[in-house]
């Protein structure tokens, strides 16, 4: 199950609940990146950063991923907030509700957020959130 997600131009954040007997994040990320790359317009694939060009990298996604095991409900909530606020953090929009590529609107529909959440003032997160 994808519990929360945001897709940004150069990275993605998500929280998953995997089956009890399955912790294979690597295979899932590999499939997600491959599928997304197939569907991504060629014009986007050609917009590579100077850093990637110097390294000879042409992929859309970075090679690695960071895994964090959610410890409790508070940890889950903080990471969900971080995910949904990420487009604002990266100056892509002024309000989380304006970014269409996230699970934010699902959370609004479920009553977890008001539509204006994250709009009034900047939200500060623990420095460890998003660095896992």
Which of the residue ranges 10-24, 41-55, 109-123 would you say has the lowest mean pLDDT? 41-55
pLDDT in tens, 31-70: 887 787 777 666 555 555 666 556 655 556 666 667 778 8
Q: In angstroms, rounded to a whole number, what is the distance separating the alpha carbons of residues 40 and 42?
A: 6
Mind listing the pLDDT tens digit for each residue in 65-94? 677 788 999 999 999 999 999 999 999 999
Separation of alpha carbons 119 and 84, rounded Å: 11
Catalytic residue among 44, 82, 101, 113: 101
CA distance 129 to 76: 11
Per DSSP, 84 falls in state H
Question: Residue 122 — pLDDT band, cuts 50, 70, 90?
Answer: confident
Give the mean pLDDT of the chain. 82
- 44 noted as active-site residue: no
Tell whether the model's pLDDT for residue 108 goes beyond 80: yes
User: What pLDDT is recorded for position 66?
Assistant: 72
Q: What does the pLDDT read at residue 123?
A: 85
* Angle CA 62–67–72, to nearest 5: 145
pLDDT band at 11 (very low <50, low <70, confident <90, very high): confident
**Percent of the chain at pLDDT exceeding 90:** 42
In order of start, what are the domains of the chain with their CATH numbers? 2-109 (3.30.70.1290)
């Amino acid at each position: 199950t994808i519990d929360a997600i945001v897709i940004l131009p150069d990275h993605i954040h998500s929280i998953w609940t995997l089956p009890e007997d399955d912790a294979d994040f690597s295979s899932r990320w590999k499939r997600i990146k491959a599928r997304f790359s197939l569907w991504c317009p060629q014009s986007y694939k050609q917009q590579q950063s100077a850093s990637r060009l110097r390294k000879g990298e042409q992929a859309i996604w970075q090679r690695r991923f960071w895994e964090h095991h959610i410890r409790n409900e508070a940890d889950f909530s903080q990471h969900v907030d971080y995910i949904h606020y990420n487009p604002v953090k990266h100056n892509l929009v002024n309000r989380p509700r304006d970014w269409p590529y996230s699970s934010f609107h699902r959370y609004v529909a479920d009553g977890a957020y008001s539509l204006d959440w994250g709009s009034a003032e900047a939200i500060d997160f623990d420095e460890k959130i998003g660095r896992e």
